[in-house]
Amino acid sequence: MVERIHPEDLSRVEAQQRRCMAERLPFEDEYRVAWPDGIVRWVADRGVFQYGANGDCNRMLGILMDITERKRAEDALRESQKLLVADLDAMTKLQKLGTLFASEGNLGLVLGEIVETAIAISGADFGNIQLLDAESSQLRIVAHRGFPEWWIDFWNRGFECKGSCTVALGRGERIIVEDVEQSPIFAGTPGLEIQLKAGVRAVQSTPLVSRSGEPLGMFSTHYRTPHRPDERTLRLLDLLARHAADIIERLQHEEALRRSRDELELRVQERTAELKRKTQLLNAISRNAPDLIFAKDRESRLVYASESTLRVLGKSAQQTLGKTDTEFHADPALGLAVMENDRIVRETRLPLVVEEPTRLPDGTLRVFHSTKVPWLGEDGTLLGTFGISVDITKRKEEEAALEALNEKLEHKNRELQEFAFVASHDLNEPLRKIQTFGDLLKSRSADRLGEQERDYLARMTGAASRIQELLDALLRYSRVETQAQDFVPVKLEDVAKAVVTDLEVAIKKAGANVEIGPLPMISGDPYQWRQVFQNLIGNAAKYYRSEVKPFIRIYGEENHGDSSIFVEDNGIGFDEKYLGQIFEPFKRLHGKNEYPGTGIGLAICKKIVERHGGTITARSTPGKGSTFMIALQTRKEEK
């Protein structure tokens, strides 16, 4: 029978037999035997040894029972107990995670424990946990055990290499790679070399999913040898994944809440500081601003008044706040008018600019320029009115004095214009007589006059003609105001063309080329604009240079409601230091023998342009030419 005992049990059985024989004890043992058919069975051996006269054991009497089924049942029970212990240990670890989370609330510490638990449950050699970045949608390793740093860096740098975790995230299910060398996931990728270099042969990756179905991350266990976790292990990993996802989601929510609270606290601090600064600024304005600053509620009761406001009213804050203008104004009637303006602002919810007379406590009447706006809450609710008032009493007095002075000046101007008209008209008659009698004397008695007398006669008639020209010029200058016409739409391009036709003889005499470009449509006096173009184009034809072909260009520009008119030539030009003189009446830069004229033309142009609300100036270079520029503000209806 000894030869049937299992080799692994033989030495133990023989040792037990020798001990029992030596101590003359019954033999009892359980061991495995191999039957002739090769089947291994468990047997229970019970017997006693028998001894001869000399005391030596000569035989053994006993019974051998097959206990194979019992042993199998015992093995199964032990395995079951072992699994139960393992499950209890796993539950203990899960409970520890919850306790750790509740006591510490530290995400990094909890994630490390999750990795340790996953390794313990699955019997793995390595493990890591990755969280999903919501912005980049990339997994990032945040806790691990057993991996070198270069392995972590490889996967965290986001190489274009998918691993089991990436695939599991994309599919939304666990991925098991029993052997990385045989897996299509790693085949031909840099990840395979990295895994083998780190000693990884098998991987399982389980998604971490929130209860709402949102992916949170992944935990993975890694093995040094090809391996596939059994179903029990996978069930425990699922339980760990659920528990870990709950903890991570809660921690993330708490972290988000903490950040939100911190941000809110920071905003409150900033808002408080800003409010403090604004309060300090408002107090500084209230103390130092000369203008009256005030706020009133919807019943027109004063709720804020700057110190300047209280000084003007001659009352304290206690005497004015919470009261209406009729209650604290020295003149209740004027206070009532102020309240009516407040009512208009509240009803229309529009700003109001108004002049408000106010009676001071000493009886003095002051005028204030008030700007009032609706006072609205952040939600648009009407709270009342807010306003600023500026004392314009002195300005009103100065305006009244200026208005009286302007009326006086206008009266004087009218008198001067009338005088100029009458003077030029009344002096025409004696001048005509001088010219007539001079002409008669020249025609009837020229042969009886000596050379000196004829010279005197020529000088007399020439002077009379010169005076006649000056009187005509003065009359034209006065008529800019006295015979002005109402404004009508005027197409300046047509006016310029008509003037060029009128000046055809002078233009041909000068041999000038005239170019008329686009000109704006304006509202004005067409006869006066004819005068403007006659003077400017006529001067350009008069003051030409004989050594070059004269050129005259008339054109305009429009820009954002403003119009510009240009009359450009290549004539003799002038020194711009005389620019202030050429627009004065009877001012000339050349003698009457060089170029004919009275010197009134540009003065008339200036007066006409200013009547139309514009300005005229020029730029010029001696020997190169001049450009006269007119600027007008064009109203929309004029366009």
Tokens of 136: 């980049």
- Specify whether 184 is located in the same domain as 138: yes
Q: For Cα atoms 524, 527, 532, give the angle at the middle one, nearest 5 degrees.
A: 85
Instruction: CATH number of the domain at 458, please.
Output: 1.10.287.130
- The answer to whether residues 127 and 214 belong to one domain is yes
Asked if 244 and 125 sit in the same domain, the reply is: yes
Q: Which H helix or E strand runs over 268? A: helix 231-288
Q: pLDDT by residue (tens digit) across 213-228?
A: 889 999 899 999 999 9
237 and 98 within one domain: yes
Highest mean predicted confidence (pLDDT) among 88-102, 191-205, 464-478: 191-205
Give the chain's mean pLDDT. 83
Residue 332: give its domain's CATH number.
3.30.450.20
Q: Which residues pair with 47 in a beta bridge?
A: 27, 62
DSSP one-letter code for 106? -
The reply to whether 183 and 35 lie within a common domain is no
The two three-digit tokens of residue 510, written as one number: 């000068």
Q: State yes or no: pLDDT of 99 exceeds 60.
A: no
How far does the chain reach from its first CA to its final CA, in angstroms? 131
Q: What is the DSSP letter of 628?
A: E
Residue 637: is its pLDDT beyond 50? Answer: no
Tokens of 151: 């392995």
Per-range mean pLDDT, top range of 126-130, 272-276, 458-462: 126-130
Whether the Cβ atoms of residue 431 and residue 468 lie closer than 8 Å to each other:
yes
Same domain, 309 and 250: no
Residue 614 CA to residue 634 CA, distance in Å, equals 10
Confidence of residue 105 (pLDDT cuts 50, 70, 90): low
Our count of domains for the chain comes to 5
What is residue 124's predicted lDDT score, i.e. its pLDDT?
Answer: 92
| Residues near 520 by beta carbon (within 8 Å), at least 6 away in sequence | 492, 556, 558, 563, 565, 632, 634, 639
Decide if pLDDT at 157 tops 90: no
With 70 as the cut, is the pLDDT of residue 621 above it?
A: yes
Q: Which residues contact 164 (CB under 8 A, 6 or more apart)?
A: 175, 177, 183, 185, 203, 204, 205, 220
What average pLDDT does range 147-154 have in this prediction?
92
Mean pLDDT of 81-95: 60
Model pLDDT, residue 15? 92
* pLDDT tens string 374-428: 999 888 899 999 899 998 999 888 988 998 888 887 776 666 666 666 655 566 6
Q: Please answer whether residues 597 and 472 qualify as being in contact, where contact means their C-beta atoms are separated by less than 8 angstroms.
A: no
Residue 127 lies in a domain: yes
* Confidence at 144, pLDDT banded by 50, 70, 90: very high
Each residue's pLDDT tens digit, 537-593? 988 888 888 888 999 999 998 887 788 999 999 988 888 887 878 888 766 666 555
Last residue of a domain, one of 477, 502, 519: 477
- In a shared domain, residues 466 and 602: no
- The pTM of this model reads 0.38
Q: How much is the pLDDT for 311?
A: 86
Residues facing residue 551 across a β-bridge: 513
Local confidence band at 96 (pLDDT 50, 70, 90 cut-offs): low
Q: Which of 336, 361, 391 is at the close of a domain? A: 391
Q: 42, 66 in Cβ contact below 8 A?
A: yes
What's the DSSP call for residue 181? G
The reported pLDDT for the residue numbered 35 is 80
Report the alpha-carbon distance of residue 604 to residue 606 in Å, rounded. 5
Whether the pLDDT of residue 271 is over 90: the answer is no
pLDDT given for residue 409 in this prediction: 77
Whether 391 and 366 have beta carbons less than 8 Å apart is answered as yes
C-alpha to C-alpha distance for 92 and 98, rounded to whole angstroms: 10
How many Å apart are CA 329 and CA 295, to the nearest integer? 16
Distance CA 564, CA 555 (A): 9
- Looking at residues 324-345, what average pLDDT do you find? 90
One domain, residues 141 and 206:
yes
pLDDT of the residue at 427: 61
Tokens of 20: 């029992």
Q: Is the pLDDT of residue 153 over 60?
A: yes
Share of the chain above pLDDT 70, in %: 84
In a domain, 278, yes or no: no
In a domain, 131, yes or no: yes
Predicted confidence (pLDDT) at residue 98 exceeds the cutoff of 80: no
Is residue 281, in this structure, part of any structural domain at all?
no
pLDDT of residue 1: 65
Residues 613 and 542 in one domain: yes
Using pLDDT thresholds of 50, 70 and 90, give the confidence band for residue 72: confident
**What confidence tens digit (pLDDT) does each residue in 283-323 have?**
777 677 778 889 999 999 999 888 888 888 888 888 889 99
- pLDDT above 50 for 20: yes
- 582: domain CATH number is 3.30.565.10
- The verdict on residue 465 lying in a domain is yes
Last residue of a domain, one of 357, 391, 425: 391
Give 527's pLDDT tier (boundaries 50, 70, 90): confident
Q: Worst-scoring range by mean pLDDT, 142-156, 284-298, 503-517?
A: 284-298
User: Does residue 618 sit in helix, strand or coil?
Assistant: strand
Dig out the tokens for 446 from the structure.
Answer: 């020229």
At residue 329, the 3 state secondary structure works out as: coil
pLDDT at 363 over 80: yes
> Residue 253 in contact with residue 151, Cβ under 8 Å?
no
In the predicted model, what is the mean pLDDT of residues 252-276? 86
- Please indicate, yes or no, if residue 583 is contained in any of the structural domains: yes
DSSP string of 542-596, one letter each residue: HS--TTS--EEEEEEEEETTEEEEEEEE-S----GGGTTTTTSTT--SS-TTTS-
Residue 366 lies in a domain: yes
* Whether pLDDT at 364 is above 70: yes
Residue 479 pLDDT grade (very low, low, confident, very high; cuts 50, 70, 90)? low
The answer to the question of residue 540 being in a domain is yes
Express as a percent the part of the chain with pLDDT over 90: 24
Q: Give the lowest-confidence range in 156-160, 293-297, 313-317, 437-441.
A: 156-160
pLDDT at 254 over 70: yes
- Give exposure, 612-626, as e/b (b: 16+ Cβ within 10 Å): bebebbbebeeeebb
Lowest-pLDDT choice from 48-52, 242-246, 525-529, 582-586? 582-586
Confidence of residue 38 (pLDDT cuts 50, 70, 90): confident
Instruction: Give the C-alpha separation, 618 to 613, whole Å.
Output: 17
One domain for residues 498 and 627: yes
Q: Find the domain containing 345 and state its range.
A: 289-391
Q: Which residue has the higher pLDDT, 104 or 526?
A: 526
Residues 466 and 573 in one domain: no
Encode 192-219: b = buried (16+ Cβ within 10 Å), e = exposed: bebbeebbbbbbbbbbbbeeeeebbbbb
Question: Any idea what the CATH number is for the domain that residue 217 is in?
Answer: 3.30.450.40
Q: Answer yes or no: do 403 and 469 share one domain.
A: yes
Region of 558 (left: φ > 0; alpha: ψ -120 to 50; beta: rest) is beta
Res. 76 pLDDT band, cuts 50 70 90: confident
* pLDDT score of 91 more than 70: no
